[in-house]
Amino acid sequence: MIKVTPELLARYTEGLCSPKEKRAVEKWLDSSEAETSFPPEDDLSVHQRAIWHHVEQRIGQRTKPERVAEYWKPWLMAACLSLALGVSFLFWSKKTENKTIAEVQVASAHYQTVRTAKGEKRSVKLADGTEIYLNADSEIRFPEPFSDTSRLVFLKGEAYFTVAKDKKRPFTVQTSQTKVKVLGTIFNLKAYHPHTATLVVQEGKVQFKSISGKEKPVIFTANQRGIFNSASGLKKDNVYAIRYLGWKDDHLVFDNESMHEVARTLERWYDVEINEIPEALSREHFTGDFHEKTLDYVLERMSYVMEFKYSINNKSVTIH
């Protein structure tokens, strides 16, 4: 039986639950068990939109939380109000006539989100000592503080992690399709696209798996890479990890990447928009390493190798 926890509710609102987990959350929402088992230390504001939508579907009307009808279950009314306000709450019903006594208190945890814009990198240090370095156009979301049993963060984009050791609380990084679980190690995780993710381990041991549960978790160690694709699954190979971590030291590295992917990386790295490139060129692959070079320098060298012409107009780039 799946237990409803703060982490599970967070995944539910992000749309990251497996079908089985989603059914468990919605069954819990509909049950009387929620009266006394709402997960403690949860960030209620994080779940407001998804759970409120779920409630709307169940009652067949769209009413704002502050106008809740009196015939709703007391626990549901209190939960919705709390979700809308994003604060801790205490609700009760006194034993009069047909009412029963129920007294529940829910503490609200605080989630922090750190984002980087295109062309920006940023370091983040968590309360447990874990250090995170975010690449351009990325986002990390984490609770403050972590719970007593786990350390769960959510990533969109790319980040380099130096995880503080804590044997009692595993550190988990979740993307739209995958989950990385460690106790204390150094690794890089890239997940800009909703259906792909790439893990590179520099030090220690990492468990990598899809959140669908269709495949068994795979263990990765230093200088190993895991490439996940929602269509083809998880693949593992040996690499020279440092080569894939150069971005944090201002090395723009391409390793046999399609020109389509190269263009997306250049957009994030230099905060520009690249107009649609010719279809034939987009399928070509490029390998190169540039350290602290301008966009014009990079495009000049690439155009010589790949035989294309380009023009730059402010933040707009045309390749033809």
CA 251 to CA 16: how far, in whole Å?
33
- Report whether 115 contacts 89 (CB < 8 A): no
| Residue that the structure tokens 């150069």 belong to | 246
Domain end residue (candidates: 46, 72, 106): 106
Return the SS3 of 75: helix
Specify if 281 maps to a domain: yes
Same domain as 19, residue 64: yes
Strand 151-162 relative to strand 171-174: parallel, antiparallel, unpaired? Answer: parallel
Specify if 1 maps to a domain: no
Return the SS3 of 89: strand
Same domain as 170, residue 228: yes
Q: Which domain covers residue 189, as residue numbers? A: 110-243
CATH number, domain of 269, equals 3.55.50.30
Specify if 137 maps to a domain: yes
- Report whether 158 contacts 138 (CB < 8 A): yes
Return the SS3 of 210: strand
Of how many residues is the chain composed?
320
Same domain as 86, residue 130: no
Query: What mean pLDDT is reported for the chain?
Result: 78
Specify if 141 maps to a domain: yes
> Residue 198's pLDDT band (boundaries 50, 70, 90)?
very high
Same domain as 72, residue 32: yes
Same domain as 134, residue 88: no
Specify if 40 maps to a domain: yes
CA 245 to CA 268: how far, in whole Å?
16
Domain end residue (candidates: 222, 243, 264): 243
Specify if 224 maps to a domain: yes
pTM: 0.66
Same domain as 131, residue 233: yes
Give me the pLDDT at residue 184, please: 84
Domain end residue (candidates: 79, 106, 133): 106
272-303 per-residue burial string, b: 16 or more CB within 10 A, e: under 16: bebeebeeebeebeeeeebeeeebeebbeebe
Phi, psi of 106 (to 5 degrees): -120, 125
Q: What is the pLDDT of residues 32-80, one digit of tens each?
A: 444 334 444 344 444 444 554 554 454 444 444 443 333 334 444 444 4
Any bridge partners for residue 317, and if so which? 274, 312
The DSSP symbol for 139 reads E
Give how many domains the chain has, as a whole number: 3
Give me the pLDDT at residue 10, please: 63
Same domain as 279, residue 225: no
Return the SS3 of 27: helix
The DSSP symbol for 96 reads S
Give me the pLDDT at residue 6, please: 63
Any bridge partners for residue 132, and if so which? 124, 161
Same domain as 200, residue 140: yes
Tokens of 265: 């990386």
